[in-house]
Amino acid sequence: MVQRFLEGVRVLDLSQYVPGPYAALILADLGADVVKIEPPGGEPMRRLGGARDSDGISPLYKVMNGGKTVIELDLKNDGGRKHFEALVRCTDAMVESYRPGVLDRLGFGRKHLQSLNPRLVHTALSGWGQTGPYRLKAGHDLNYMSLGGGLIASGVVEAPTIAWPPVADYASGIQAAASTLAALVSRARTGKGAFIDVSLAETALAWQSGGLTNALRRENAPKRAGNLLNGGAACYNIYRTKDEHFISIGNIEEKFWANFCAAVGRQDWIPRQWESFPQKKLIAEVQRLFASGPLAHWETLFAEVDHCFEPIREFADLPDHPQIAARGLLQRTEAPDARIEVLYPAWIDGSPPTPRKDVRFGAVDEIIAAWTRAA
């Protein structure tokens, strides 16, 4: 089962909000024993958003920290630091999202951590990275996407669009988890730990090689609604129906575009698929077509047509969608503290992921004792 891949691997999660906690959530889903260390009173995400469970904690916090054991430690006092040192000595990996320099001020710089545990894989998530003139600059996902290229070619002609969910946050969580796993594989061969510096802005930047290369060569660098994949093409776009729903078509392949055009009786559109971008005239014609009928009409018409079509669903519609239901990735918690969590998004050896345990609030002495025995 997917949860057994990292069985026996111990992970400390000292991060907050989304990027680091999501990285640690991935590791927990893969079977690691994850202990989340929070300051006295807990991390701010416990109180994020308006909704609260019956225990006063935000459900957003719970879905980001399922499968982990949470303890509170004050790293600014001697007792908290001693407990933390004991945990570091017997852990395999640590994920943290402090600003650069904070761990040094707390007495846990690289040299001290290495002296405690030379095999430690230490992954540091920060907005801009551990070096450079922006290293201490404040920021959030929108800012990291701004510098990392994630907004240059997104949105409509008039303005960029803020993406949901926060792209750099989640992408950097995946980047941190993948880097941590790679370092653990390397450590199995060499016996040496690693220090991994993951930047949220650079995670977004890592996806921009195509645009950067085109700009360098002065060749059609992506611009808003100006190319095939960002709203400049009629065959790959979002349209509004007569009853104010939205649908997407993604007919990049010529055969799919031809099948679509034939289904709506507009074979004259087939040779126009690769007109110069942005295809304002053709897009407007396709929009008039979809505006002529309600969503149900288009779903019925395209039910047996082999082309890339899908309505844009509302969140409330997703759990009962036959494809999502068939894959078994949604885990429901019933009222009064109802929530839906998406489990690890992979089937392993023909089986869906097994249920994720609730976040558990534990005691530091209990964790130290268990980890010391296992080390």
* β 236-240/246-250 pair status: antiparallel
143 found inside a domain: yes
In which domain, by residue range, is 304 found?
A: 236-240+246-311
Query: Are both 54 and 154 inside the same structural domain?
Result: yes
Over residues 235-256, the mean pLDDT reads 98
Token duo for residue 163:
């993406």
Over residues 301-315, the mean pLDDT reads 97
Query: Are both 20 and 158 inside the same structural domain?
Result: yes
* Interior/surface letters 242-269, b for 16+ CB within 10 angstroms, e for the rest: eeebebebbbeeeebbbbbbebbeeeeb
pLDDT of 282 higher than 90:
yes
CA 367 to each of CA 12, 118, 173: distance values in angstroms, whole numbers, following the listed order:
11, 21, 25
**Cis previous bond, 166, omega within 30:** no
Longest dimension (CA), the chain: 76
DSSP-assigned letters across all residues of 223-257: -TT-STTTT-BTTEEEEE-TTS-EEEEE--SHHHH
* Interior/surface letters 70-96, b for 16+ CB within 10 angstroms, e for the rest: bbbbebeeeebbebbbbbbebbbbbbb
State CA 375 to chain mean position distance. Answer: 31
DSSP assigned state of 275: P
More confident site: 215 or 188: 188
pLDDT of 3 higher than 90:
no
Query: Are both 195 and 68 inside the same structural domain?
Result: yes
Query: Are both 202 and 284 inside the same structural domain?
Result: no
Question: How far apart are the C-alpha atoms of 339 and 188, rounded to whole Å?
Answer: 38
Query: Quick one: pLDDT at residue 218?
Result: 82
Query: Quick one: pLDDT at residue 61?
Result: 95
Q: Minimal CA–CA distance to 361: which of 115, 58, 37?
A: 37
Over residues 340-354, the mean pLDDT reads 93
Q: How many other C-beta atoms lie within 10 A of the C-beta of residue 180?
A: 27
Query: Quick one: pLDDT at residue 2?
Result: 58
* β 330-333/69-72 pair status: unpaired
Domain boundary among 283, 311, 339: 311
Q: What CATH code is carried by the domain that includes residue 99?
A: 3.40.50.10540
Q: What CATH code is carried by the domain that includes residue 254?
A: 3.30.1540
Query: Are both 29 and 106 inside the same structural domain?
Result: yes
Question: Across all residues in the chain, what is the average pLDDT?
Answer: 95
* β 69-72/360-361 pair status: parallel
Question: How far apart are the C-alpha atoms of 241 and 255, rounded to whole Å?
Answer: 24
Residue range 72-115, pLDDT digits in tens: 999 999 999 999 999 999 999 999 999 999 999 999 999 999 99
Question: How far apart are the C-alpha atoms of 106 and 82, rounded to whole Å?
Answer: 12
pLDDT band at 372 (very low <50, low <70, confident <90, very high): very high
Query: Are both 256 and 368 inside the same structural domain?
Result: no
Query: Are both 76 and 154 inside the same structural domain?
Result: yes
Query: Are both 360 and 291 inside the same structural domain?
Result: no
Catalytic residues: 140, 169
Over residues 243-257, the mean pLDDT reads 98
224 found inside a domain: no
Q: Minimal CA–CA distance to 63: which of 25, 34, 30?
A: 25
pLDDT band at 157 (very low <50, low <70, confident <90, very high): confident
More confident site: 49 or 244: 244
Over residues 127-153, the mean pLDDT reads 95
Token duo for residue 256:
């799919």
Query: Quick one: pLDDT at residue 1?
Result: 45
pLDDT band at 225 (very low <50, low <70, confident <90, very high): confident
Residue range 20-39, pLDDT digits in tens: 999 999 999 999 999 999 99
Q: Burial of 103 by CB count in 10 Å (0-12 exposed, 13-18 middle, 19+ buried)?
A: buried
Looking at the chain, the whole-number percentage of residues with pLDDT higher than 90 is 90
pLDDT of 307 higher than 90:
yes
pLDDT band at 340 (very low <50, low <70, confident <90, very high): very high
213 found inside a domain: no
Query: Are both 143 and 261 inside the same structural domain?
Result: no
Over residues 174-202, the mean pLDDT reads 98
